[in-house]
């Protein structure tokens, strides 16, 4: 079984079991603490805000619906059909379009780009979920989608996030309820070196236009009521002109 097949199967299992209740999934924090904070970092670097926007790894579509209220055409894509089903069901107003896509698959990405043309893209915490052998392919896929005019905003957990997640997983009382299903389905986040993310982007032909550090906010809380946040880094990238 290929690496892609393994994690496609893992994600299908996870999303098939996931509740449709908002905020019930570990990373399904509301847009006010996720995409709502990211858009102001992306907007100054958009060469063409009118391009379609693709939400890569859209999951159940919480961020996609938010983005669809702010961009003319938004497409949420995910490797798991079960996730896309959740997203479609949650978008009763039909604000965005959704489809199954393996963004590390060259032919699938080229097909989407042929349909949409250059796009702007949003991706939150997807690269570290990929098997190491697929990470450059994912960056290459992003570069194909954004083309010459698009920009991508991505945020990924920092190396130090592994310590936070490891501590939660090893809690004597067990991992937090929303983290437990992630671990059970074998999709525990993998470590990506801090320096590796811009290297992947550069190797794909993209230039980092801006970047910084900010927490990746989750929908889970500790036993004392503190929201769990993972140290993360963000980047805006696109083709140099």
Task: Report strand pairing: 97-100 vs 120-124.
Answer: unpaired
Task: Give CA torsion, residues 109, 111, 115, 121, to 10 deg.
Answer: 0
User: What is the pLDDT, as a whole number, of residue 224?
Assistant: 82
Mean pLDDT for the stretch of residues 147-174: 86
Write the Ramachandran bin of 59: left for phi over 0, alpha for psi from -120 to 50, otherwise beta.
Answer: left
User: What is the pLDDT, as a whole number, of residue 185?
Assistant: 77
Condensed to tens digits (0 to 9), the pLDDT of residues 9-63 reads 888 988 898 888 888 898 899 999 999 999 999 999 999 999 999 999 999 999 9
Condensed to tens digits (0 to 9), the pLDDT of residues 225-241 reads 889 898 999 999 999 86
Separation between Cα atoms, residue 155 and residue 229, nearest integer Å: 13
What's the Cα-to-Cα distance from 171 to each of 23, 129, 164, rounded to whole Å?
22, 22, 11
Tokens (6 digits) for 56: 């890569």
Q: Kindly write down the DSSP assignment for every residue of 58-126, as one continuous string.
A: -TTSHHHHHHHTTSS-EEEEES-HHHHHHHHHH-TT--SEEEE--TT-HHHHHHHHHHH-S-EEEEES-
pLDDT mean across residues, the chain:
91
Mean pLDDT for the stretch of residues 170-195: 76
Condensed to tens digits (0 to 9), the pLDDT of residues 82-116 reads 999 999 999 999 999 999 999 999 999 999 999 99
Question: Which has the closest alpha carbon to 69: 44, 36, 105, 37?
Answer: 36
206, pLDDT greater than 70:
yes
Percent of the chain with pLDDT over 90: 63
pTM of the model: 0.93
Q: How confident is the model at residue 3 (pLDDT cuts 50, 70, 90)?
A: low
Residue 211 CA from chain centroid, whole number: 16
User: What is the pLDDT, as a whole number, of residue 1?
Assistant: 36
214, β-bridge pairs: 232
Mean pLDDT for the stretch of residues 154-168: 84
71, pLDDT greater than 90:
yes
User: What is the pLDDT, as a whole number, of residue 44?
Assistant: 97
Who has greater pLDDT, 74 or 169?
74
User: What is the pLDDT, as a whole number, of residue 188?
Assistant: 60
Q: How confident is the model at residue 174 (pLDDT cuts 50, 70, 90)?
A: confident
């Amino acid at each position: 079984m290929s690496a892609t097949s393994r994690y496609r199967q893992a994600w299908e299992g996870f999303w098939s079991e996931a509740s449709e209740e908002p905020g019930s999934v570990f990373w399904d924090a509301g847009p006010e603490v996720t995409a709502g904070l990211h858009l102001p970092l992306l907007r100054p670097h958009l060469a063409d805000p009118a391009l379609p926007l693709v939400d890569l790894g859209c999951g159940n579509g919480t961020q996609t619906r938010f983005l669809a209220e702010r961009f003319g055409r938004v497409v949420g894509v995910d490797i798991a059909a079960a996730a896309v089903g959740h997203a479609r069901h949650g978008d009763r107003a039909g604000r965005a379009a959704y489809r199954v896509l393996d963004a590390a698959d060259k032919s699938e990405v080229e097909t989407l780009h042929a349909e949409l043309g250059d796009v702007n893209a949003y991706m939150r915490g997807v690269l570290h979920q990929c098997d190491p052998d697929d990470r450059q392919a994912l960056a290459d896929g992003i570069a194909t989608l954004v083309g010459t005019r698009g920009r991508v905003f991505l945020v990924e957990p920092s190396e130090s996030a592994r310590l936070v997640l490891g501590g939660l997983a090893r809690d004597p009382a067990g991992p937090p309820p929303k983290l437990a299903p992630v671990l059970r389905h074998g999709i525990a986040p993998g470590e990506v070196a801090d320096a590796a993310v811009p290297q992947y982007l550069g190797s794909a032909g993209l230039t980092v236009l801006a970047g910084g550090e900010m927490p990746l906010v989750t929908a889970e809380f500790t036993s004392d009521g503190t929201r769990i946040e993972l140290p993360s880094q963000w980047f805006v990238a696109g083709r140099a002109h």
